[in-house]
Every structure is written in structure tokens, then in C-alpha cells.
Structure 1
């Protein structure tokens, strides 16, 4: 097994290891506990939009039981 050397190789190795949704969710949560990671992630418009959408969906679900879930929320719940 080759040891990843470049940033791209390391990113690809992490993606390979986190192919499972449960693993990916756990790793993402762990990484988002790092202030510098959160700062950089907040600069990604797509990541920020998806996170805000999921956060809003969770809030709506708690506020109104029986509310239809979006695909983002359904996928996140299947990870639990």
C-alpha cells in the first residue's frame, strides 16, 4: 500500500476510507470541531448552503412534526 504524498492523494485516500455515509458523517463532524476547518468550510458556498439547508430542515422538523423531509435531511437521518 502506497502512502499518500500530495494533498490530492491524501484527500482521495480520505474519500476512499469515508465512502460509507456513517463514516463520512462521523469524520465530517469530527473535522468541523476544528476552528480552522470550520473557517475554511464556511468559505465554500456549496458546503455552506447545504449545511444551512440541513440545519433549517432539522429546525422545521422539530417545529412541525410530520413535515416532509428534503433529500438532504432524509440522507442525514439514514446515517444515524
Structure 2
């Protein structure tokens, strides 16, 4: 008898389940601007999954930063 190197395919009925699952909750309202991984993909701790656009938060930041930037520009003009 000779050994044969031809691959064989065997199909068996089965069910697969994840070892772990996680529920994700939004910390902030927004829109998914870009998704970096597909559903079901393996990911590592700290890996960026998606980029969320939050116009309301951007508006709030602009309200805080604009006065600060104006003051900084005025102080630089005064130094000249």
C-alpha cells in the first residue's frame, strides 16, 4: 500500500459559537464616519474600531476654544 498526498474534504454538521461576547454602549451621540473592522473580526485591546462624528460635541468644543484662541491672538499682537 502507498501513501497518497491528495487532500480530502470532509463535511460534518456543526454549530459555532463565540467564546466571549461584549455589549457596547455609546458614550456619546454621533454618527459612524468610518468603520475599521468588520463585525465578527478579531481585534486586540485598544484597537480603534470606528471613527464617530459628533457634531454637537464639536460645536461645544468650538464655543470653548474660540474665546481662548481670540485671547491668545490679542496677547500676541500686544507683544509685537
TM-score by length of 2: 0.29
Of Structure 1 and Structure 2, which has the larger fraction of its residues in helix?
A: 1
Of Structure 1 and Structure 2, which has the larger fraction of its residues in strand?
A: 2
Structure number with larger C-alpha Rg: 2
